[in-house]
């Protein structure tokens, strides 16, 4: 089955609905929306602005961004608006962007609930406000743990025209938005936008002129597509159909004109559309062709309408009809009856009307400038030569004369019927259909979503890069290289470079920067930390960087004097007050510099952020600069949030004494307070290590695939059918979290139930978890065995694990083998299984089981965590995954009765869950948390408890704010039987990767037997005698293989239902 794709479009203009005219970009957006939704395996949602329209009540796939003013425009007027972005105040502009971002995120969240999966692609239309908003949404959702979203932009010409006019110092367009977009960084690299489509090859160069650092190979021409269900030959004629579209006063005079033919102009009443040239042309061709009329479709501001209609009257035109803005259906009808379409625009950025015209079988006439030069060929139309002074009347008349001459030629040669018209429809169908355009875009999005691996020695799954140098001198050289690269990239992109520096060896390394490698006049220096009153960092920067290279001291932002609280507040205000091309703010309002350079201590401290200190614990609270007062020594330091917001962060670590810290930091995917360097974990982080400092990390082969970029779990390196353990099993669970699905864990008690679970997984080609409870394990071995010391349960679990290992490869799917709830009184069972794991590891290099669960939720909170910590320290040695439970799951499970527990015990708190993380994360990342959110084992009565999966979101948010990452926990849903699908879907969205299913599958297994008995009751009352005769044998009915197989078949179907509920399907 093809991979399902979920995408979202941010439109910049309204669609044509509810009697509102739509410009070309709005029509294109609507056409794309409909086309993507018609493609198999694709679902598209959209939003667009309008003051007039309202959101639909019968279509949940699009929504109106409601405005109380006209739609803001970049450069040209439209029939709907002359309200320019430049007329907005800064407060209005900021409020518009923030409201747009919030409404889109809320809409996307609603859509994901409905679709049961996360969005893959976000397409913003126009290279301006929507593009910046799109990049911010990706960053915002990434912090929420939704990291799969990729942002792309469809560039339309008007935003580029606005940027160009700003750069050319046009007085109507003061320089404002070009530096803002450049400083924002959306188009400075692939990080903000993974690919760009431009609707004209001419505009590729203009886009790259504005955003010179954007990769050229990701800026491609997208052939304009039209909806050929609307735009096609309609069979309309002048005689039968023209009258219905005319104004009442024009209808009255139509019959006396003797019209047999018309030509059509379509466009907004803006000077560059050059309607005046068409009117001057009409003055000439009306004299030559008395049966020819001119239809003008479009509108504009009242003064523009008055201007052009007044010009037509002053020229004495007799057969011209202004019919205003019209729907796409009317456009198609009028174009179909026309001899030619006439669109002599100057540097037309888009040109969709040309394609629409040809799609109706009608040749088109345009001018040799802009987009049409790339697609209008002589076989389907003609482009007239430009007039340089077309803005003055004499030039416009000369242009009109050329238009008239071309129209005369078209009519005399019968372009429509003989030479050009017959090839128009096929030309559009083959080259410019919306389906062809959208199919190409979809293919490019899939390709561009797979970012090339950067040049580095290690690439971690969270995007951090590790480069290994020979020694400290090599690191110093690499620091200089990264400084130069970041400086030149920022200067080329936005005309300024901002860097935050510490003191010590990092700044000393900058003494090796070669002169002339960057423009020092455009460098702005800030400080990562500084001791108040001593200014050691400032002095070091002056000596190593500022003085040798001539950086203006006014651009070296020194820390002031005062109390640490006062100094920190002033320095944060300084950062926030910088021009946008120097310091921007990210989606959360955190100041963002271009580069932060950091050293690391042996204890993992960076700057003045030390392990487990209050300053490191303040992460996630929105502070950029923190005051520090230790033993009377006062200083300030930038926060982890500020560091992570930088466009690039470089950490260096040298010498063997730092090797344990480096290994700990790099192996922590979410960071930990006891190693602050591990919390610098965004995708723009580069580690520079020498061979001594990396040795502990390199000693253990680290398996850390970037699962979010993979389409299938089969792409995980080393993935195989059969039992998987350790890094491979952990990668699969992380893949499930990244893709928004969970794996059902089915309790098995016999080889029959094991076989049924594997059969279900095989039929749908999806992974599954087989788990054994303590009681189920004993049953597997045989209930007659002595189990006073849990020896039978150990034997049964081990036998079950070996059985699964033996048969699972034949079913062709990966399987995790897990042991379920182990309470404190059952620890001998846990110890016995763990001993077998350790022996198996000695022989095979992996544990026998994939994972084990400790359920000490009935014990005091601290004791629960303490015992789990002790066992994880043992389990990490054999690469086992631990599942632990915090909070009590109600109901009855495997003989443990929690039906009488107080309801307050059924809900964990964010603080409870965070304590688990703090205790276990320093030992290993391989642990799952079964936090309580109202779960109950068994099928419970309505009202007995309220399941609250929203608590899982709160747990993730609490930890995410501290760690600076989205959804750090991998969670487990206990008591899944009988849960509503919406609650299951919400749990998946909040990081649940495993859900236990027992009661429902027990019933399914029994129902297979029950139904077999009911169907064949007459054959199951004795060995001999049935409805077919008293002497007939019944062996074929009471043979255990018969009724047992029916139980298996029923169980197979129920497991498949669980997989579907958990989105564990292709």
CA distances from 201 to 221, 297, 378, 773, 1021 (A): 6, 27, 19, 64, 82
Active-site residue identified among 820, 837, 912, 1000: 820
Contact 1047, 1006 (CB under 8 A): yes
CA distance linking residue 868 with residue 866, whole number of Å: 5
| Side-by-side strand order, sheet with 364-367 | 320-324, 292-297, 261-266, 341-342, 364-367, 381-384
CA distance linking residue 639 with residue 483, whole number of Å: 21
Residue 185, sorted as left (phi over 0), alpha (psi -120 to 50) or beta, turns out to be left
Buried b (16+ CB within 10 A) or exposed e, 56-77: eeeeebbbbbebeebbbbbbbb
CA distance linking residue 1054 with residue 45, whole number of Å: 32
| The token pair that represents 502 in the structure block | 């510490």
CB atoms within 10 A of CB 18: 12
Q: What are phi and psi of 663, to 5 degrees?
A: -60, -45
Beta bridge partners of 897: 892
Q: If you search the block for the tokens 């063997």, which residue do you land on?
A: 656
CB atoms within 10 A of CB 463: 18
Helices of type H across 454-553: 472-494, 505-509, 536-541, 547-549
Contact 789, 841 (CB under 8 A): no
| The token pair that represents 606 in the structure block | 């960076």
Closest alpha carbon to 939 in 893, 894, 901: 893
Contact 490, 179 (CB under 8 A): no
Closest alpha carbon to 596 in 538, 655, 650, 674: 650
CA distance linking residue 5 with residue 92, whole number of Å: 35
Contact 728, 716 (CB under 8 A): yes
Active-site annotation holds for 820: yes
Q: Which residues contact 835 (CB under 8 A, 6 or more apart)?
A: none
Strand 121-125 with 62-66, pairing: unpaired
Beta bridge partners of 627: 636
| Side-by-side strand order, sheet with 5-10 | 62-66, 42-50, 5-10, 121-125, 150-155, 196-198, 219-221
- 818's enclosing H/E stretch is strand 814-819
| The token pair that represents 289 in the structure block | 């062709």
Helices of type H across 238-351: 238-241, 248-254, 275-288, 302-314, 328-337
Active-site positions? 820
């Amino acid at each position: 089955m093809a991979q399902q794709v979920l995408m979202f479009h941010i439109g910049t203009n309204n669609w044509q609905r509810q009697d509102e005219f739509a410009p070309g970009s709005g029509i294109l957006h609507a056409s794309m929306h409909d086309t993507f939704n018609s493609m198999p395996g694709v679902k598209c949602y959209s939003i667009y602005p309008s003051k007039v329209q309202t959101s639909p009540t019968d279509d949940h796939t699009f929504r109106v961004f409601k405005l109380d003013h006209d739609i803001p425009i970049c450069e040209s007027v439209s029939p709907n608006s002359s309200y320019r972005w430049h007329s907005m105040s800064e407060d209005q502009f900021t409020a518009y962007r923030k409201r747009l971002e919030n409404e889109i995120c809320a809409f996307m969240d609603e859509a994901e609930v409905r679709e049961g999966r996360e969005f893959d692609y976000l397409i913003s239309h126009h290279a301006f406000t929507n593009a910046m908003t799109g990049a911010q949404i990706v960053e915002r959702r990434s912090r929420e743990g939704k990291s799969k979203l990729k942002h792309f932009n469809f560039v339309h010409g008007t935003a580029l025209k606005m940027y160009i006019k700003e750069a050319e110092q046009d007085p109507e367009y003061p320089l404002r938005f070009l530096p803002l977009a450049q400083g924002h960084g959306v188009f400075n690299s692939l990080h903000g936008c993974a690919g760009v489509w431009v609707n004209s090859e001419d505009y590729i160069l203009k886009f790259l002129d504005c955003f010179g650092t954007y990769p050229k190979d990701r800026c491609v021409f997208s052939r304009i597509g039209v909806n050929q269900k609307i735009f096609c030959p309609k069979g309309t004629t002048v005689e039968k159909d023209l009258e219905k579209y005319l104004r009442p006063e024009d209808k009255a005079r139509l019959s006396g004109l003797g019209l047999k033919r018309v030509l059509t102009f379509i466009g907004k009443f803006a000077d560059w559309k050059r309607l005046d040239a068409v009117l001057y042309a009409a003055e000439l061709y009306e004299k030559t062709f008395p049966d020819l009329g001119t239809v003008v479709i479009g509108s504009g501001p009242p003064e523009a309408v008055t201007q052009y209609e007044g010009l037509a009257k002053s020229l004495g035109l007799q057969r011209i009809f202004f019919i205003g803005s019209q729907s796409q259906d009317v456009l198609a009808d009028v174009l179909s009856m026309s001899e030619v379409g006439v669109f002599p625009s100057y540097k037309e950025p888009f040109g969709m009307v040309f394609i629409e015209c040809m799609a109706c079988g009608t040749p088109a006439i345009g001018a040799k400038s802009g987009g049409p030069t790339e697609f209008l060929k002589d076989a389907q139309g003609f482009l007239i030569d430009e007039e340089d002074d077309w803005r003055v009347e004499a030039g416009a008349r000369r242009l009109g004369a050329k238009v008239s001459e071309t129209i005369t030629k078209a009519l005399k040669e019968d372009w429509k019927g003989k030479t050009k018209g017959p090839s128009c429809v096929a030309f559009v169908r083959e080259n410019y259909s919306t389906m062809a355009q959208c199919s190409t875009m979809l293919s490019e999005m899939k390709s561009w979503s797979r970012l090339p691996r950067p040049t580095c020695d290690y690439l971690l799954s969270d995007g951090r890069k590790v480069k290994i140098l020979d020694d400290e001198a090599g690191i110093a050289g690499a620091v200089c290289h990264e400084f130069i690269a970041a400086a030149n990239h920022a200067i080329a992109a936005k005309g300024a470079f901002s860097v935050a520096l510490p003191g010590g060896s990092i700044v000393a390394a900058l003494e090796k920067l070669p002169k002339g490698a960057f423009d020092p006049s455009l460098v702005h220096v800030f400080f990562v930390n500084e001791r108040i009153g001593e200014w050691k960092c400032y002095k070091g920067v002056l000596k190593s960087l500022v003085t040798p290279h001539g950086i203006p001291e006014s651009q070296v932002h020194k820390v002031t004097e005062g109390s640490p609280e006062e100094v920190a507040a002033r320095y944060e205000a300084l950062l926030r007050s910088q021009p946008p091309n120097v310091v921007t703010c990210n989606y959360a309002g955190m100041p963002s510099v271009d580069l932060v350079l950091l050293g690391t201590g042996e204890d993992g401290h960076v700057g003045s952020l030390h392990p487990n200190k209050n300053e490191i614990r303040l992460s996630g609270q929105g502070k950029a600069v923190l005051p520090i007062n230790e033993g009377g020594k006062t200083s300030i330091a930038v926060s982890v949030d500020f560091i992570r917001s930088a466009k690039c962060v470089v950490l260096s670590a040298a010498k063997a004494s730092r090797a344990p810290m480096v290994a700990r930091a790099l192996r922590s995917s979410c960071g930990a307070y006891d190693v602050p360097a591990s919390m610098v974990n965004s995708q723009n982080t580069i580690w520079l290590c020498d061979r001594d400092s990396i040795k502990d990390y390199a000693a253990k082969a680290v398996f850390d695939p970037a699962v979010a970029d993979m389409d299938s779990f089969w792409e995980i390196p080393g993935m195989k059918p059969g039992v998987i353990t350790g890094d491979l099993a952990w990668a699969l669970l992380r893949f499930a979290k990244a893709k928004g699905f969970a794996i059902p864990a089915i309790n098995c008690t016999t080889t029959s139930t094991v076989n049924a679970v594997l059969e279900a997984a095989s039929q749908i080609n999806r992974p599954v978890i087989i788990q054994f409870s303590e009681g189920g394990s004993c049953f597997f071995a045989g209930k007659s065995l002595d189990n006073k010391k849990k020896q039978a349960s150990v034997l049964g679990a081990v036998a079950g694990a070996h059985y699964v290992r033996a048969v699972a490869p034949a079913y062709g799917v990966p399987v995790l083998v897990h042991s379920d709830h182990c309470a404190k009184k059952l620890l001998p069972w846990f110890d016995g299984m763990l001993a077998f794991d350790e022996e198996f590891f000695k022989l095979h290099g992996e544990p026998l089981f994939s994972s084990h669960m400790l359920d000490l939720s009935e014990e005091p909170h601290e004791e629960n965590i303490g015992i789990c910590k002790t066992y994880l320290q043992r389990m990490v040695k054999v690469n086992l995954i631990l599942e632990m439970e915090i909070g009590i799951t109600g109901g009855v499970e495997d003989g443990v009765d929690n039906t009488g527990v107080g309801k307050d015990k059924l809900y964990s708190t964010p603080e409870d869950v965070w304590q688990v993380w703090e205790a276990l994360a320093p030992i290993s990342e391989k642990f799952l948390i079964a936090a309580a959110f109202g779960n109950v084992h068994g099928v419970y009565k309505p009202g007995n408890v309220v399941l609250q999966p929203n608590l899982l979101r709160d747990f993730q948010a609490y930890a995410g704010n501290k760690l600076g990452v989205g959804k750090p926990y991998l969670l487990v849903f206990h008591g899944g039987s009988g849960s509503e699908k919406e609650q299951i879907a919400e749990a998946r969205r909040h990081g649940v990767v495993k859900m236990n299913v027992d009661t429902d599958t027990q019933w399914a297994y029994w129902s297979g037997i029950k139904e077999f008995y009911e169907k064949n009751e007459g054959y199951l009352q004795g060995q001999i005698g049935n409805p077919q005769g008293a002497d007939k044998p019944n062996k074929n009915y009471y043979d255990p293989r018969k009724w047992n197989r029916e139980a298996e078949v029923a169980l197979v179907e129920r497991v498949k239902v669980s997989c579907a509920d958990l989105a564990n399907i292709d």
